[in-house]
Chains A and B, each alone.
Chain A
Amino acid sequence: MAPLKSLQQEYPDIDARFLHFCVSRGILSVEDFLIHDLNELIAFAEQDPDSEDLKKGILMILSYIDGQHQLWLNGLELLEDAEKNNLVISTGCDGIDFLLQGGLHEGQLTELVGSSSSGKTQVCLQAASNIAIKYTGTVMFLDSCNSFCAKHVANLISQLLTTRSKEVKEWGIERAMSKIMCQSVFDIFTLFHVLNQLDTIMRSEVKGKEGKMHLLIIDSVSSLITPILGGRGSNGHSLMTSAGFLLKKLANEHNLSVLVTNHTVGGERGISKPALGESWKSIPHVRLLLSRESGSSTRKVSVLKHPSLACGVSSNFELIS
């Protein structure tokens, strides 16, 4: 946030006299003002000969602060907004769509947890292909472990397209492929950079325009975060939480569905558990556990966390090979 000086142009009541008063109380920026007790500040202002002007200045800053938070909404407005802007997008895996009552919700962060070869990446690629075919918007795939394979995606799309005509099919594949963007990201700082860029781009785009982004995939988010955790300091956790909030902000503000994958690690008594620990648990809206019995092509998806479904509810699904 801004230093108080920079507010001078917009708010005429914030004059040199007021700034001097604030500096004498140790307030140089809006943040300083935020952590100050207002009643105390007003009490000090009242001892001053120019108390009326100083109080006006305080009110001015308060009205500036009032514009610095998100908007208040009542339940009805919230519901209308969600129903108007947040679609449910189909992943193309019937079992998962069935479990999630239609598919991934825009505005939410969904996490797929599973051991190696449980089908996390495959679900991501299939969801990307299905959305690129069936919806007008685009898909962004952030790849941190070189799992994105264009040939495989083209193959998935060709199987998902129902047409028989070869020409139509080729056109369909080309059209869908052009809507999936892939970017390699190998460390958390690049992730922040890419996400901030996305935010800027989406902000500048006209709302309601065709070609809006529907889905942002990070495969896998855990391989970006795990290296920075550990050690004595809290910086790793701080970066992790910041990344989580940035993703949720993108999802909320641009009505985007975010899909991330997380691997599993050995927990107590040999039972494997999702990586990234307790603090990450409160980041995703939806947490799904993927598993597969050896030798079977049927996979199982079960709910670990969901805003309205009970934990443990599960269903089976099959992937396109």
Chain B
Amino acid sequence: MALADWINADESAKDMLSRVLLERPLLLLPPLHRVPLRVGNVVEIVGPSPSAKTEVLIQAAISSILPKEWGGVHYGGLERLVIYIDLDCRFDVHRIAQSLKHRISEIQESTFLNEELFQACMRRFSYIRCYNSYELLAVLKTLQTRLQKETELNGLAAHLLMIDSIGAFYWVDRASKSLPLDGNNRKTLSLQSVAQTVVNEIRQLIQGQPMLVLVTKATIMGMGPLASNMKRTGTKWIPQDNSKENLNRRLEQYVYQEYMPSVWQLFVTHRIFLTTSDSKLGDVPVHVSQWLIPPLQVSDRFVVRDAGISIVT
């Protein structure tokens, strides 16, 4: 009997493949292509402003909202919903629209834009902006119900949760030290408690609905040559030296200081660092990316064009 159970397959190869593909969709977009990312991961994209952080989010969103196949043409997308929470409040919808149109017409190899396909893709992109931490918490607390509704409406599940950018309210929250309150077990509102709640809520969300979490973080302080800002305490990180000295000389000059509470830092599973180099390709600046978690010795150089991100060799 036990033997029969053992011989009986748990699932067919086809089932397994579809399960694995769902759990681990290929998000091979540069500069995120070096590390295999799967749902449940929390990826932090760190860099000074501007270093194409939002652009990386937009391109990832486009790959997710594009269908795999449509009208006999292979688009290679995931056809899943994207949730975009904008804390910086400066998302420009024209940018994603423009880039999506480019991507569609590039694949179709014609300049004629299929309006129906474009609209279907744009509908899979859900956007909300928050002007303070309370709005963010209110969004996260009610997101589960919202996701269920969206999934029913579209017949599709969300695949990406994006937050741009997580440190937006850092200074405001840090300054809001509330007075000691009556009631001995009342939590005080602080940077710490907000971060704790954000982490809890996202953790519960991705348990209920497996999603890949992509978060940007601007280096709002301590981003500068080594000499200055030495007095500040905090975790310091210096990019490791590697073979392409020229390329990394700029990276080396910088110290990136962690400022988010440790509860957030522990929540992050992957971290990539972006910066803009001095060199240019044509008239567009070349950006440099390097993985910090997991630490990789290679760094990539990429440029942003109308059609999206492309690697420079």
A residues whose Cβ falls under 8 Å from a Cβ of B? 1, 23, 25-28, 31-32, 34-39, 62, 65-66, 68-76, 78-79, 82, 108-109, 233-235, 237-238, 240-242, 245, 248-249, 252, 268, 277-279, 281-282, 284-285, 304-305, 307-308, 310-313
Contacts and interface: CB of A to CB of B under 8 A. Distances in A.
A267 to B, nearest CB: 9
A69 B223 contact: no
Contact of B183 (A28, A74, A233, A235): A28
Given A73-B128, A238-B172, A249-B89, A37 B200 contact: yes
Contact of B218 (A68, A108, A234, A282): A282
Interface in B186-243: 186-187, 189, 193-194, 196-197, 200, 204, 218-221, 223-225, 228
Contacts of B139: 69
A210 B88 CA distance: 31
A238 B134 contact: no
B142 A310 contact: no
B92 interface: yes
Most B Cβ at <10 Å: residue of A76, A82, A108: A76
15 contacts: A26-B186, A34-B197, A65-B138, A69-B139, A75-B65, A75-B93, A234-B171, A235-B175, A279-B220, A281-B49, A285-B92, A307-B54, A307-B95, A310-B285, A312-B285
B183 A26 contact: yes
A178 to B, nearest CB: 32
Contacts of B123: 74-76
B49 A282 contact: yes
Interface string B60-75: 0000010000000000
Contacts of B125: 74-75, 78
A1 B135 CA distance: 10
A312 B283 contact: yes
B29 interface: no
Nearest to A252: B89
Contact of B204 (A35, A39, A109): A39
Interface string B127-146: 11111101101110110011
A242 B172 contact: yes
B165 A282 contact: yes
A281 B283 CA distance: 22
B146 A72 contact: yes
Given A34-B197, A35-B193, A249-B131, A78 B175 contact: no
A205 to B, nearest CB: 21
Interface of B: 48-50, 54, 65, 88-98, 119, 121-132, 134-135, 137-139, 141-142, 145-146, 165, 168-172, 174-176, 181, 183-187, 189, 193-194, 196-197, 200, 204, 218-221, 223-225, 228, 276, 280, 283-285, 304
B129 A252 contact: yes
Given A26-B186, A26-B187, A268-B224, A69 B128 contact: yes
Contact of B194 (A26, A35, A36, A62): A35
Contacts of A234: 171, 174-175
A78 B127 contact: yes
Contacts of B204: 39
A240 B174 CA distance: 13
Contacts of B128: 69-73
A109 to B, nearest CB: 7
Given A34-B197, A238-B174, A245-B132, A62 B98 contact: no
Nearest to A307: B92
A310 B51 CA distance: 11
A65 B142 contact: yes
Given A242-B172, A305-B50, A25 B122 contact: no
B138 A28 contact: no
Contacts of B220: 278-279, 282
Contacts of B95: 307-308
Contact of A32 (B174, B186, B304): B186
A230 to B, nearest CB: 13
A72 B126 contact: yes
A71 B139 CA distance: 10
A278 B285 contact: no
A150 B197 CA distance: 52
B50 A311 contact: yes
Contacts of A307: 54, 90-92, 94-95
Given A282-B168, A310-B284, A75 B122 contact: yes
Most B Cβ at <10 Å: residue of A71, A245, A268: A245
A62 B145 CA distance: 10
A78 B125 CA distance: 10
Nearest to B183: A26
Given A34-B138, A282-B220, A108 B127 contact: no
Contacts of A249: 89, 131
Nearest to B84: A75
A238 B175 contact: yes
Contacts of B189: 31, 35
Closest 6 CB pairs of A and B: A75-B122, A238-B175, A307-B92, A75-B125, A26-B186, A237-B171
